[in-house]
């Protein structure tokens, strides 16, 4: 009505299935300040609207009683109720009543506009402030995530590939010195360098996969997570459903000394893929979580659950049966997950009591 560019109110989406998820969504809705400001504005407008209707009736009645002398009546009811007034005074009272009613209607309309803008426009300012704060937090999270990722790459190169390549160079140098005097020893050194070179190539491939998973772009999150689960040192049970209406997806995967059979559950054909940024954030969060579980948790198995929920939100949960006690340490893997999810505009929750189990949940909005 007043052309205020305010975003429409929407019901809070459920972040968990079932009745419990509905109660949590209802609780978040109950603490939404914008909703209560809208309710307050509606209540005030309703009261003012009732008064305006009375004034409008008084305006019509004032116009009628202004012509009372043309009738045969001796008295008539005033425009605002009360006792009878003489017909001789009716024109003056009718004109004054009409002016007063019109002024009251205009004044209440201006008052309603002022109150509505004070309530709703303030909500708009709060919303814009929150957006600025969220954008600032996302930018800071992206910077921190990039810094953590750069540190990880430097560490992996310095601790893994670089020493191996230096060893290859030294081995080839020794082989070069012995190739004339001791050909058999030179051949063994060259074979050792060849083996180390293949190992270095494997480490570089894994490092590149940690930076960018090409299968994620080519075949989507489901296939990328299946490949990730097959490479995991601990068995992984994978449950991915990328269609919120049919619950389609893939269940299976696993690697190590024992695994889980893979299979297809539901018909996922035709389901729209989430945004690339959301897929990448969830994929690398799951990859880092499984790496931490394999390195630190002493877990014997893990479970990964991924859902594309209503409201176009990508939700993932990683659980392991390890010893727990995981904490977000600045510069660590969990800190990298938190920063990456924050940079994507999502939320991150870690539950890891001493003695386990450990569970990590992420929610990432998908690009519309």
The span from the CA of 260 to the CA of 251, in Å, is: 9
| pLDDT in the model for residue 163 | 78
pLDDT of residue 126: 62
Backbone angles phi, psi at 209, to 5 degrees: -65, -30
- The pLDDT score that the predictor gives to residue 44 is 92
Residue 264 pLDDT = 36
Residue 11 phi, psi dihedral angles, 5° rounding:
-65, 145
Of the CA atoms within 13 Å of residue 186, those in its CB half-sphere come to 10
**Predicted local distance difference test score (pLDDT) of residue 148:** 63
Rg (CA), the chain: 35
CA 14 distance to own-chain centroid: 12
Alpha-carbon gap, residue 71 to 81, rounded angstroms: 20
CA distance 38 to 9: 9
Q: Could you tell me the pTM of the whole model?
A: 0.49
pLDDT given at position 259: 38
Peptide bond preceding 249 in cis form (omega within 30 of 0): no
Tens digit of pLDDT at every position of the chain (368 positions): 777 766 677 777 776 677 777 788 888 778 877 788 888 889 999 999 999 999 998 888 888 888 877 777 777 776 676 667 777 777 888 888 889 999 999 999 999 988 888 887 665 566 666 666 766 666 766 666 666 666 666 766 766 677 778 888 888 888 888 888 888 888 888 888 888 887 778 767 666 655 556 667 677 788 888 888 888 888 888 888 877 554 444 444 444 333 333 333 333 434 456 777 788 888 888 888 888 888 888 888 888 998 888 777 888 889 888 888 888 777 677 777 887 787 777 888 888 888 878 888 888 888 65
How far apart (Å, rounded) are the C-alpha atoms in residues 41 and 199? Answer: 68
């Amino acid at each position: 009505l007043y052309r205020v560019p305010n975003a429409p109110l929407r019901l809070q989406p459920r972040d968990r299935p079932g009745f419990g998820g509905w109660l949590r969504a209802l609780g978040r809705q109950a603490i939404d300040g914008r909703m209560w400001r809208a309710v307050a504005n509606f209540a005030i407008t309703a009261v003012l609207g009732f008064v305006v209707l009375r004034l409008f009736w008084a305006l019509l009645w004032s116009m009628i009683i202004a012509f009372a002398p043309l009738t045969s009546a001796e008295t008539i009811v005033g425009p605002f109720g009360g006792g009878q007034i003489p017909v001789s005074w009716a024109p003056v009272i009718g004109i004054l009543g009409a002016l007063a009613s019109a002024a009251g209607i205009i004044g209440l309309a201006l008052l309603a506009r002022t109150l509505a803008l004070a309530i709703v426009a303030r909500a708009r300012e709060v919303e814009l402030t929150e957006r600025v704060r969220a954008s600032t937090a996302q930018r800071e999270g992206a910077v921190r995530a990039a810094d953590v990722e750069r540190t990880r790459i430097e560490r992996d190169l310095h601790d893994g590939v670089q020493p191996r390549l230096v060893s290859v160079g030294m081995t080839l140098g020794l082989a070069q010195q012995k190739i004339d005097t001791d050909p058999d020893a030179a051949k063994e050194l060259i074979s050792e360098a060849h083996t180390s070179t293949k190992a270095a190539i494997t480490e570089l491939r894994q490092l590149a996969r940690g930076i960018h998973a090409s299968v994620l772009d080519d075949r989507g999150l489901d296939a990328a997570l299946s490949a990730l689960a097959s490479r995991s040192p601990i068995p992984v049970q994978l449950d991915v459903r990328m269609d919120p209406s049919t619950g389609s997806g893939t269940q299976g995967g696993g690697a190590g000394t024992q695994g889980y059979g893979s299979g297809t559950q539901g018909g996922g054909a035709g389901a729209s893929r989430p945004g690339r940024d959301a897929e990448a954030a969830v994929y690398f969060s799951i990859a880092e979580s499984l790496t931490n579980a394999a390195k630190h948790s002493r877990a014997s198995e893990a479970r990964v659950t991924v859902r594309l929920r209503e409201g176009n939100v990508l939700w993932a949960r990683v659980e392991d049966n390890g010893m727990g006690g995981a904490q977000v340490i600045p510069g660590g893997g969990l800190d990298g997950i938190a920063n990456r999810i924050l940079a994507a505009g999502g939320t991150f929750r870690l539950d890891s009591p001493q003695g386990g189990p450990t569970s990590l949940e992420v929610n990432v909005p998908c690009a519309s």
